[in-house]
Amino acid sequence: MKIVYSDKHAAHDPKTFFVRGVNRPAAEQPERADRLLAAAKAARHEVVTPRPYGTAPAAAIHTPEYLDFLSTIARDWAQLPGASAEVLPNVHPARYAATYPKALAGRAGWHQADLACPIGPGTWQAALAASEVATTAADLVLEGARWAYALCRPPGHHAYADMAGGFCYLNNTAIAAQRLRTRHGRVAILDVDVHHGNGTQGIFWERADVLTVSIHADPANYYPYFWGHAHETGAGAGAGFNLNLPQPMGSPDVPWLAAGDAALARIREFAPTALVVALGLDASESDPLQGLKVTGAGFRAMAQKVASLSLPTVLVQEGGYLSDDLGRNLVQFLDGFEKGRP
Ligand SMILES: [Zn+2]
């Protein structure tokens, strides 16, 4: 399989990650991508470099004011007297009607959903490179490859059209799906990350041309809390085109794979001509975030199921944090996908 990878991800090295009010070392570290790349190389997948697209693919998903914010805030923030090394909001417009602010602290609160998306001096460069990685993988598939894997870092599925959150800045999965839409009338997204793909859901919420399906730990007691519940099914033209399959915390392979069957049934009914898999590996039993208990064999079995759809497919890396199984689980998924293809 072709693996698209850029070493520009390393410019983003966040230091802030609050857990129960305590600032802990960030889970979303550059070493994640190093380990995923090493494992893919060892399994003899072919590594290719992304093409330069600039901001155009990201601008097909994200708003101009948000892209302006992401690309300038670190530089401007550094000029504030006594400013922190990373941009972090200390105020939010929350749930009430609000006016877009000019002040940097206000803009940070508008565009950063939580404290898990700090913006440092290299964040924009890394996020933009990840969007180019996803776009290149989508173009490889548009050009005739049956599948391609985008080794994106930072991840993207918690990012909305105008808001970062949960380690995510640009929604690489949505960018890949939108790219596929240039030649495919209907595109499905299957998100198997342990966290609900709330940004992706939000981006396509009122659209019927992109089906969004997410299997994740129940947000009743897990990030992102406010989204990912089963009753969220889309609105307007998109009503019925979002499916959430929350799983009880700690669920092992069997129910996770049964949710995979339910997801695939909905995808088959939708009859897309291309697929994007938001490939989080943090549902692993070994993942430090401990939401679900999926084994390497479980990832392999899920990949085989997804491959049975026999669709042109872009795999986009989402979450998955440092453990001895991180690289192994990626290889299990990629290998299961290739071998499961009819
Ligand atoms: Zn995740």
Q: Could you read off the pLDDT of 146-158 as tens digits, one per residue?
A: 999 999 999 999 9
pLDDT tens, residue by residue, 190-222? 999 999 999 999 999 999 999 999 999 999 999
Asked if 234 and 210 touch (Cβ cutoff 8 Å), the reply is no
Contacts 24+ apart (CB under 8 A), 263-266: 263/190, 263/213, 263/215, 264/190, 264/305, 264/306, 264/308, 264/309, 266/211, 266/213
Whole-angstrom Cα distance, residue 52 to residue 84? 32
| Averaged pLDDT, groups of 10, the chain, 342 residues long | 97 94 95 98 97 98 98 98 96 95 98 97 98 99 98 98 98 99 98 98 99 98 98 98 98 98 98 98 97 98 98 98 98 96 74
pLDDT value, residue 341? 76
H-helix or E-strand containing 276? strand 274-279
Whole-angstrom Cα distance, residue 169 to residue 108? 12
For residue 101, report the distance from its CA to the centre of ligand 1, in Å: 30
pLDDT value, residue 196? 98
pLDDT value, residue 282? 98
For residue 103, report the distance from its CA to the centre of ligand 1, in Å: 31
Amino acid at the residue 187? V
Is 158 one of the annotated active-site residues of the chain? yes
Whole-angstrom Cα distance, residue 283 to residue 280? 7
For residue 328, report the distance from its CA to the centre of ligand 1, in Å: 17
- pTM beyond cutoff 0.75: yes
Q: Which residue out of 45, 62, 111, 158 is catalytically annotated? A: 158
Block residue for tokens 């996803």: 134
Give φ, ψ of 156 to 5 degrees: -140, -15
Torsion of CA 69, 29, 154, 320, to 10 degrees: -140
> Residue 276 corresponds to which tokens in the numbers above?
């994007």
Residue-level length of the chain: 342
For residue 26, report the distance from its CA to the centre of ligand 1, in Å: 13
